[in-house]
Amino acid sequence: MTRWILKAALIATAVWGLTAAQALTMDEALAISVGESDARVQALAQAVAQGDEKTAAFLQALADDVVKVAKDQVLVVRDGQGLNPVTGQVVPVPQDNEDVMLNNRLRGEIDTALAALKLFSPEVKVRRLAALSLLKEPDASRRALLDKALVAEKDPQVQNLVRQARAAAMLTSEAPNDRLLAARELADSQQPETLLLLNQQLAQEQAPSVKKQIQTALITVQEGLRWGERLGTLFTGASLGSILLLVALGLAITYGLMGVINMAHGELMMIGAYATYVVQAAFRQYLPGAFDAYLIVAIPMAFLASAVVGAVMERTVLKHLYGRPLETLLATWGISLVLMQGVRSLFGAQNVGVENPSWMSGSLQLLPNLQLPWNRVLIIVFAAAVLVGMALLIGKTRLGLFVRGVTQNRPMASCMGVNTARIDTYAFALGSGIAGLAGCALSQVGNVGPDLGQSYIVDSFMVVVLGGVGQLAGTVYAALGLGLANKLLEGWTGAVLAKIAVLVFIIVFIQKRPQGIFAMKGRSAEA
């Protein structure tokens, strides 16, 4: 075993020395620039195998369309100044120069070649992305370059990716033995791209032994990727559950604690989303340098905008309709139509885009096939923070005490000196403001439009009823449970049937347990 390792090291060193000694020549540059596509692709592959800086610079110039050809001379022309790509010296630009013509095939080959040369970048992230790119588009002609990169690489993760890219390149070899060895090595890969490569090779493989090994490798890779798929489904369900929780928290107050069937709850979310859009536009116009901080300002603005609209609704309409659920439902439905039309008149009927700050962009890579988008991760954290804040407000503050007192026994609270009308306004404004926070969060995962709230109003009522009217803990369990159930069932039945199955379950559950997961305790149970 030790002798084999030593032999492999000596071969790799020899390849390194051979390729390092070579450099881009004018003949190679000319062969890449003019001629038939097949010949140019072959010349490009030979040049890339050298892996030197001049080759990389020349290919980048080709990609930028700044390479000219004059007779037997190739030069790079930038800002009217000619440059010899081989020597790097400034040269005069001939009058009879011509542009280098590149078709789509050549452009694709150049892009892949540039990715290959990035294997020698000093930045680990760049090398990792380059190795992934070569894994997706394997080419047997780049085997020598990958051997060289494998010897030079020190980072274990990138080294593993380069090894897999080398095996993928060997999978396209004409030698059956190479393909057999490649299939064995790719069996240890846990990259989603490996599945596609193995399936493609399996469809055209003729050698029985290689075909059998590819089938074995496919089973092994699929097993390795299964945990990533399961965790991804759970995260997606938790993400949906956190959004449902944010939407339902406000409704848990207006409907759960106050008993108001507010059909305009979705439109209060929409107002919070549009408030976020307005703050974003203001920052882009007046504070472009601080654009990444706009969301910090948008969160309180979304809360205040929705809270003010909710307070106006309560003082002008709803206070006259307490105890009359049908009239309340019809009135709030009419208000929802007015709010939607008002938004259409101010911002137009088309959706508007809300851009994520840079710190919410990108994703967290946990497994090769498991990426957690930062905007979704932070929304889960935000939902948890809003939940904790609301629980503390209701359970530990004077306002929360008054709200609980009015909810449990309004006449007794009034006799104790509590201004029940004012508490109603405060509570409804609080629930509306939380709906605005939900709209602010939703603006970070999708477009904002006048119909935004209509997509969530039914789900939010289901969450509150399923969890138990007036019970925050039940709202949490119901939101997360519905989110996870939706995403788990989607993988088996599809989105439509999953939605129907969840709805049927809720109907059956409410029939058997009308009080929800958690029953309301105290005098409110008899109210």
Tell me if 14 is assigned to some domain: yes
For the chain, state the CA radius of gyration.
32
* Contact in structure between 190 and 218 (CB atoms under 8 Å): no
Task: Answer yes or no: do 442 and 328 share one domain.
Answer: yes
Output DSSP code: residue 349: S
CATH number, domain containing residue 362: 1.10.3470
Place of tokens 């602010």: 440
Task: Answer yes or no: do 256 and 401 share one domain.
Answer: yes
Rounded Cα distance between 446 and 452, Å, is: 10
Task: Answer yes or no: do 435 and 512 share one domain.
Answer: yes
* Contact in structure between 313 and 428 (CB atoms under 8 Å): yes
The type of residue at 58 is F
Indicate the helix (H) or strand (E) that contains 70.
strand 67-70
**Torsion sign, CA atoms 260, 265, 267, 272:** positive
Last residue of a domain, one of 128, 144, 173: 173
Output DSSP code: residue 101: P
Helices and strands (H and E) in the chain: how many: 21, 7
Rounded Cα distance between 298 and 156, Å, is: 42
The token pair at 28 is 């190679």
Place of tokens 């703050």: 279
* Contact in structure between 186 and 197 (CB atoms under 8 Å): yes
* Contact in structure between 250 and 432 (CB atoms under 8 Å): yes
pLDDT at site 437: 93
Cβ neighbours of residue 362 under 8 Å, at least 6 residues apart? 373, 374
pLDDT at site 3: 42
Tell me if 202 is assigned to some domain: no
The type of residue at 429 is A
Domain that holds residue 86: 2-173
Last residue of a domain, one of 157, 173, 189: 173
Last residue of a domain, one of 131, 153, 173: 173
Place of tokens 């001379």: 73
Counting the structural domains of the chain, the total is 2
Tell me if 233 is assigned to some domain: yes
Tell me if 527 is assigned to some domain: no
Tell me if 221 is assigned to some domain: no
Q: How far is residue 419 from each of residues 250, 314, 394, 427, 524, measured CA to CA in Å?
A: 22, 15, 17, 12, 19
* Contact in structure between 232 and 488 (CB atoms under 8 Å): no
* Contact in structure between 422 and 414 (CB atoms under 8 Å): no
pLDDT at site 64: 85
Tell me if 220 is assigned to some domain: no
Task: Answer yes or no: do 251 and 145 share one domain.
Answer: no
pLDDT at site 289: 87
- 3-class secondary structure, 485: helix
Q: Mark the ranges of the chain whose per-residue pLDDT is less than 70.
A: 1-22, 49-52, 256-257, 469-471, 515-516, 518-527
pLDDT at site 16: 38
Task: Answer yes or no: do 381 and 459 share one domain.
Answer: yes
Tell me if 466 is assigned to some domain: yes
What is the 3-state composition of the chain as percent helix, strand, coil, each rounded to the nearest 5? 75, 5, 20
Question: What DSSP string runs through 295-338?
Answer: HHHHHHHHHHHHHHHHHHHHHHTGGG-TT-HHHHHHHHHHHHHH
Tell me if 404 is assigned to some domain: yes
Task: Answer yes or no: do 98 and 239 share one domain.
Answer: no
Burial of 255 (0-12, 13-18, 19+ CB in 10 A): buried
Task: Answer yes or no: do 249 and 385 share one domain.
Answer: yes
